[in-house]
Every structure is written in C-alpha cells, then in structure tokens.
Amino acid sequence: MINVTQRQIWVTFSKEGVHLYPAAIDDPALATGKWDDVSFLGYAHRHIFHFKVAIDVFHDDRDIEFIQFKRWLESLYANSTLELNHRSCEMIAEELAQEIHNKYPNRSITISVAEDNENGATMTFNPTEG
C-alpha cells in the first residue's frame, strides 16, 4: 500500500504580454557591452507568457474541476495584451497566487511562468496558519 501525501490538479494557458527590466539598461552586470549584454531587456518587449498552475485538491473526484479552474484563471487576464510594466515572472506568479488563495484558501499552489515557453520561474506557495 502506498500513501498519497499530496493531491493536485494542474492547468496550463498562455497570454501575450509586454514588460521590461529597467535595471538592464545601465546595471554593469547586465549592460556589459559583451556577448552576455542584455541591456535590450530594459525596453518594453513582447513575450508569450506560459502559465502552469497546480493546486491542492482533497479527494479523488476533484473538488476543483480543472476546466473551470483554467477558465477562471484565463478570465483574470481578459485584456488583449498584458501590460506587465517591470514585473518579472516571479512577481506575476506571486500576484496570481494571491488571487488563487483568495478564491481557494488553505491549499498549496505551484505556479510556473515562462517567457515564450523558454525561460521562466516556478514558485510554490503553502498556506500559512493564522
């Protein structure tokens, strides 16, 4: 017999967005003038942001239906193009986690946000007591 220690569902979706990394313009670690120069990131640029969101469910018959969960998540980003300003993948994940927590409290949430499904961040959020 094996024990289930955590049960989660996950969904994916993508959304066009524009953001920038202001420090990249003049931070010497980023604007190197060499092969690793990424100063261009300091200017507004477009990505397709890919999301993968997992959330705890509490039984085998899914107390959150994943198609409904996905549709709700997509509705949070209903604008044609996301204007993300200086927000990083990590900041986007944190904001989304708070929205999910408000609707589905007391559940662990794992969110991955990737730029063009190429580079990104994964963050796990656990419910806190109190």
Q: How confident is the model at residue 28 (pLDDT cuts 50, 70, 90)?
A: very high
Please state, as a whole number, how many other Cβ atoms lie within 10 Å of the Cβ of residue 41: 17
pLDDT, one tens digit per residue, over 85-130 is 899 999 999 999 999 999 999 999 999 999 999 999 999 999 876 5
| Distance separating alpha carbons of residues 99 and 105, to the nearest angstrom | 10
Which pLDDT value is given to residue 50? Answer: 97
Return the percentage of the chain with pLDDT > 90, whole number: 82
Q: How far is CA 123 from its chain centroid?
A: 8
Does residue 92 contact residue 112 with C-beta atoms inside 8 Å? no
**Is residue 108 in some structural domain?**
yes
**Is residue 109 in some structural domain?**
yes
Which pLDDT value is given to residue 80? Answer: 77
Model confidence at 39: pLDDT above 90? yes
**Is residue 74 in some structural domain?**
yes
Output the pTM of the full model: 0.91
Q: How far is CA 88 from its chain centroid?
A: 9
The average pLDDT across 45-50 equals 95
The average pLDDT across 44-64 equals 93
The torsion angles phi and psi of 30, rounded to 5 degrees, stand at -110, -40
| Distance separating alpha carbons of residues 46 and 83, to the nearest angstrom | 10
| Distance separating alpha carbons of residues 121 and 102, to the nearest angstrom | 22
Does residue 121 contact residue 90 with C-beta atoms inside 8 Å? yes
Which pLDDT value is given to residue 112? Answer: 98
**Is residue 94 in some structural domain?**
yes
**Is residue 14 in some structural domain?**
yes
**Is residue 31 in some structural domain?**
no
**Is residue 86 in some structural domain?**
yes
Q: How many domains does the chain have?
A: 1
**Is residue 35 in some structural domain?**
no
| Distance separating alpha carbons of residues 30 and 116, to the nearest angstrom | 21
The residue segments making up the domain with residue 56 are 8-18+46-125
